[in-house]
């Protein structure tokens, strides 16, 4: 029983670390895309 609990905890921790690492890469890319899109829209209406 305790081995199952330890296995689940390790899986959750590794999964959380992976999501955190992926999130750190996606958030800046999303912000950059938003800035570029805003600049393109501003240029289109000038």
pLDDT of 29 over the 80 cut:
no
- CA 3 – CA 8 distance, rounded (Å): 9
What is the Rg, in whole angstroms, of the alpha carbon atoms belonging to the chain? 20
- CA 20 – CA 14 distance, rounded (Å): 10
pLDDT over 70 percentage in the chain = 100
- Structure confidence at residue 31 (pLDDT): 75
Average pLDDT, the chain: 87
């Amino acid at each position: 029983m305790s081995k199952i609990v330890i296995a689940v905890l390790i899986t959750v921790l590794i999964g959380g670390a992976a999501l955190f690492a992926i999130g750190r890469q996606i958030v800046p890319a999303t912000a950059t895309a938003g800035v570029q899109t805003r600049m393109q829209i501003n240029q289109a209406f000038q």
